[in-house]
Structure 1
């Protein structure tokens, strides 16, 4: 490869391979000032961030993926793939075959020269998952970041539900989107052992298979997995025959935006809402992280964050939002989850121990 780097090449390389924009204009300028395509590809393909994303199935991060397929984007894919700027005919041919940026991204990621450099899963492993109220078993790949990071936020959500529903969640209905391999799902089940239904959605098939295995292996007879995205919530309720919804966990891309869009419907039912908050995704969002978090606070009676020890921290004002954003920034993965709830009566009963 000898193609000199342009800003568009760097930007689209970050998007297609890492799922996000470059951290800053300084990073962009540094690549353009001294780099070439082969150096950019080597730098990204050998990074720990790329390895984690590959093992997680290259999840979507940021709103850029919903944009149009432009000649510029197609040209960059061919440049990254082949190492040289493509001709007009090649750009036109690929643009016709790629109706969306998702398809275009897959064209790049599945190219043999790139696929051969991606890390591979080592195979199924099992580990104990200690949770408030008991221990569960988690199956996953030993190199999968989600498996390695377990129990993650699962103890937090188990403690929350034990406090919110001290009767054990008798008759409660829970729905989850972006469930992954089921780490948080097992936390929800442990926190509400008497729940009536728990329906966990995970669209990525490898994760969905592990999710189903983890629900079955722990004897969760009232929990089920669905290998599809959540989709429209009222339609899901009708399809699944649900008359109530006591908890909704939004763990996929765009969770904060979706929570606000559904807020009137959720408030009417008194639903607890757990919302994923990914700084890498939200930095690329036109609204930005602070505005998205503020919109959640305005749309629901209460917004609650959690500190490093998983203790709940209500966020009633601007100072609370600032502190919460700093806590997310300090987390190694720059991700956290917030609670949107109708009341704070459960706070006095919350006990992570």
Structure 2
């Protein structure tokens, strides 16, 4: 590592004075430099914070090694009282992307620093140097304070990334060049990956990956992992992902919490009718996706009731400030659609069944 005239590495150093971050030119620095850069008035002294009654008062004409602590505050000279020697560790300020957090532990890892700042683990932590070649730090590598407290983050542009159930996973999450279906499933369902179905859904491919089958992972491959059986409630993340696929394509979709439902807005209707668009509400079944999507609700009083295939039912629900009436429409149950397949079908495909239904009007 390059050394400067003080024998110190050329990592960037910063301090806080009265909780304000201030950049320093080097690790061993004159107190006068800190005072000048922090605009400390002559009537105040500079004190190194040890969180102790015996915090160290710095000599105006002296120098300080920031390795010993870089957190300072000011105190009126007239208020300074004689102090015993301080035995407590100094507070340390760590900076990431110009944010600051305070610690007393010198030994850190890349992961510990990212977690300290509440940052995602798939970003690259880099120690900031005065020279161009900053130092990338891995999650398990040392990010010890003594080597420099100033870091920046960068988006990783190397390594493997895959998308599973609309979430991005990297090598830091366990992605490897070769993975089994079970290992892919464990990324999103770590408790019981063997109770899932895994499908590769990218590169023009849509096929089932067996639990023990090992495949080569290509960059940015996309997978869907579906629980084989859901016994309590529906899979919110699955519904959200399916709605997301439609909204990315410009569809207008609403999610309803009570009752759990999806509303497809502004669906086109077969021409020559009194209306050209309608909204359709579809309930989210309990135990979805294990239980198939079925039925459809039209706004109460819709001119399509009795015109679309399927008999209007007495069942109604209230959602989005309207009353909706059920129509007996069953595309996946001996209807016009294919048999329900929870690894393939969902709200992102049911919209096609609804659109076909609205155009096949008596």
Same fold (TM over 0.5): no
TM-score interval w.r.t. the shorter chain? Answer: under 0.3
TM superposition score normalised by structure 1: 0.25
More strand by share: 2
Hey, which of these two has a bigger chunk of helix by percent? 1
